[in-house]
Structure 1
Amino acid sequence: MIIDMPSTTTSKVNAKIVELRQTGGAVALGRVLTLVIVTDDGEKTEEAVEAANEASREHPCRVIVVARGARKAAPRLDAQIRVGGDAGASEVVVLRLYGELADHGDTCVIPLLLPDSPVVAWWPSESPQVPAEDPIGTLAHRRITDAATDKNPIKALEHRRGSYSDGDSDLAWTRLTSWRAYLAAALDLPPYEKITAATVTGEADSPSTDLLAAWLATYLKIPVRRAKGTAPGINAVTLQRRSGAVELVRPDGKVGTLEQPGQPSRRVALSRRSVTDCLVEELRRLDPDEVYEATLKGLDKITRGRAATPAKTPKPATRRPAKAK
């Protein structure tokens, strides 16, 4: 069910939610948090709502979408309430803000927050320079950004590093979970040798590639080279050790191949994660992510260079026939 409320107020929206709850016969609601999505009004809004609806099936919540419209328009609040099949396992409130109201979404969000429950803020596209100081960010226990959607993803990571506060997270980091798990599992197999160096290859503007390189440099305390690849996202990771290299390669963005000395080559599921999968994982924890914080601080430990190219096989020397005397 979708109910449109043009030119309305937050008090009327709240009253309508209560009315729907009473007429629908719901006595108790098992909402565990409030998810506030901040975005500009447009196609991205519906994509974010769809991802939130899917995530709500594991984390029942109230979803409040702050969709900022034209700043030059007259101040106006258009609301839309979605319940039932149009809201997954949640209730969705879409607030479209126009004029001066577009820059004051926090005043519209506060009356709609679930009482005594945590608040998570998510910027699916462009995010504030300092999420913790953003008016909506100050309301949240957890603040989720996505450096990959910024105009300059690598520069966005540097901003995250300088502005980090407990509760900050980024989907560029969440996309690394499978890579980190496979690499950690590979090092749990014999031979148990120290890793001496590493190379992480990925797309030039892939923030996840930078974060993976920084994670290895921080926790293995080794020199890590960040190389440019040709395929989207992360392409490969090579860990050097005395008996031979551990290599995890993903050329097609779907299936990876893990190779290491003394072990058979293995194909592993390593497809690029969807926004929904990443959002579901992020909502599983509300405490500070200390590993993410340490990884951000380790971004200055990586070095940059070209991807290694296979050595050319030298051509056999040929002797010219001797001239007849």
Structure 2
Amino acid sequence: SHHPGRIIAILVDLQSEVSEFHARISAYYHDLQAGQKQIVAEVIVLETGRMGADHLSGAALPLLLPDLPVFFWCTVALTLIHSQVKTLLRYSDRLILNSAEDDYSTRELCKSLDAILQWRRQCHVSDLNWSRLTMWREAIAQLFDKVQYNRFLSLLYEIEISYSDDQLSSQVLLLAGWLSSRLHNVSALPRGSDDTTVFFGHRSKQTAIKIRRKKMQQVDGIYKVKLIAEENEKAVIFTVTARQNGGLESVIQIGSTFYPATFMHSLPMSEAQCLCNELDFMEQDEVYLQACQNVIEYLHEN
């Protein structure tokens, strides 16, 4: 990372009965001129067993550096309900999660998102899974940047998200939650689902989005988003598609006329890159939290 700081990694072996903490300390530096070295990061690794999990805060809090922001990277969101984790979070400025790493049941996802929304009052919240959706969100928003296309926002009557996976992922739900929170005028579609289609929506705002699953070779996750409107009996279709070589392609069709495609070139970010990017932000991401709220409402109703 380009941010100097102290990194405290806590490893709890739930298969071990050990209660003591074992610590390892490392320092990383950059070479400067004239043989000088500048330390850019200290890494402290704390290891313990299941019995030591009840003393996490006592081991970690004395190691925090005063007057520096504290980022809490929680690799499993469901651990937020642990009392020691709650104590650590009270001393944190930002909570960083990666909801893509969790193999959720619907019930567990509700619990996890509820915990995230509860902690918004204590600290700011980030989700690396949400960060990976940035390119999709930007590409969709840019479709309506031009004045001549902006009017179609109020005419949308169908939105379709297509993805390739064995099950409905948290990333697909987050994108649907974001769309439903930004596009308040989308007409309600029939509720219900089958093996390949889910209708995302909540009755309170009368919005719904169609989510289609189609398993494809060499394709994982979201691969297409389609927004459909109608004007003067002409179909207006905005389509964003993932390209095989990386990046996204956006196409606009009005009636039988196709307009030149636009491209957004970007390679998928690694988890380390996403994490480093989150260290640049200190403000609360209210758009992400609203997307989470919409997902919770959908899951509770279905």
Larger relative strand fraction: 2
2:183 corresponds to: 220
Aligned residues of 2:76 and 2:102 also touching (Cα < 8 A): yes
Alignment counterpart, residue 10 of structure 2, candidates 59, 66, 75: 66
Question: How far is 1:275 from its partner?
Answer: 0.7
Cα distance in structure 1, aligned partners of 2:245 and 2:214: 12
Could you tell me which runs of 5 or more consecutive residues in structure 1 were left unpaired when the two chains were aligned. Answer: 1-55, 304-325
Question: How far is 1:273 from its partner?
Answer: 2.5
> How many residues are matched?
247
Does the residue aligned with 2:168 lie in a helix, a strand or coil?
Answer: coil
Q: What's the TM-score, normalizing by structure 2?
A: 0.72
Correspondence 1:185 to 2:142: yes
CA pair 253-122 structure 1, distance change in 2 beyond 3 A: farther
Aligned residues of 2:114 and 2:296 also touching (Cα < 8 A): no
1:163-182 CA distance string (max 9 Å, x none): 21212332221111111111
Aligned residues of 1:235 and 1:250 also touching (Cα < 8 A): yes
Cα distance in structure 2, aligned partners of 1:287 and 1:153: 30
Question: How far is 1:249 from its partner?
Answer: 1.0
1:128-160 CA distance string (max 9 Å, x none): 154896232232121112221112275554223
Alignment counterpart, residue 82 of structure 1, candidates 23, 26, 40: 26
2:291 corresponds to: 295
Identity %: 24
CA pair 300-98 structure 1, distance change in 2 beyond 3 A: closer
1:255 corresponds to: 247
Could you tell me which runs of 5 or more consecutive residues in structure 2 were left unpaired when the two chains were aligned. Answer: 31-37, 187-207
1:111 corresponds to: 62
Does the residue aligned with 2:287 lie in a helix, a strand or coil?
Answer: helix
Aligned residues of 1:196 and 1:241 also touching (Cα < 8 A): yes
Q: What's the TM-score, normalizing by structure 1?
A: 0.68
Aligned residues of 2:18 and 2:48 also touching (Cα < 8 A): no
Cα distance in structure 2, aligned partners of 1:123 and 1:238: 34
Runs of 4+ in structure 1 off by over 6 angstroms are: none
Map 1:1-325 → 2, pairs under 5 A: 56-57=1-2, 59-70=3-14, 72-85=16-29, 89-98=40-49, 100-125=51-76, 127-130=78-81, 134-152=86-104, 155-163=107-115, 164=117, 165-166=119-120, 167-189=124-146, 190-192=148-150, 193-194=152-153, 195-202=156-163, 203=165, 204-221=167-184, 222=186, 223-230=208-215, 231-242=219-230, 243-250=235-242, 252=244, 254-261=246-253, 262-299=258-295
Range 260-269 or range 143-152, more displaced: 260-269
Rg (Cα) greater in structure: 1
Q: How large is the RMSD of aligned CA atoms in angstroms?
A: 2.8
Does the residue aligned with 1:122 lie in a helix, a strand or coil?
Answer: strand
2:202 corresponds to: none
